[in-house]
């Protein structure tokens, strides 16, 4: 019984860590049509402020869907 509970716990935690939706729509928590740094790191925690700024082609402090796509592709996500 103990082994079964351990196996179930492992599957539960592995499943939640395995698949995370990194789509623009999922990242845009406030549905504003652009992404802040906070929204980006919620789905891509390894993105640095420097990488975010580099992806922000127009320098407006947020990422459009096109800018996010470039960041996503460059980060391997």
- Return the half-sphere exposure (C-beta side, CA atoms, 13 A cut-off) of residue 23: 5
- pLDDT at residue number 26: 95
Give the count of beta carbons closer than 10 Å to the beta carbon of residue 11: 10
CA distance 21 to 19: 7
Range of the domain at 55: 19-74
pLDDT digits (tens, 9 = 90+) for 18-63: 458 999 999 999 999 999 999 999 999 999 999 999 999 999 999 9
Here the CATH number for the domain that contains residue 60 is: 1.10.238.10
pLDDT at 8 over 50: no
Note the pLDDT of residue 19: 56
pTM of structure: 0.73
- Domains held by the chain: number: 1
Residue 27 · residue 42 · CB < 8 Å? yes
């Amino acid at each position: 019984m103990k082994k079964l509970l351990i196996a179930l716990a492992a599957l539960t935690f592995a499943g939640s860590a395995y698949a995370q939706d990194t789509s623009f729509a999922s990242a845009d928590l406030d549905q504003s049509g652009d992404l802040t740094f906070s929204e980006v790191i919620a789905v891509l925690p390894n993105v640095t402020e420097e990488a975010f700024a580099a992806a922000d082609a127009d320098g407006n402090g947020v990422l459009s869907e096109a800018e996010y796509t470039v960041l996503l592709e460059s980060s391997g996500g």
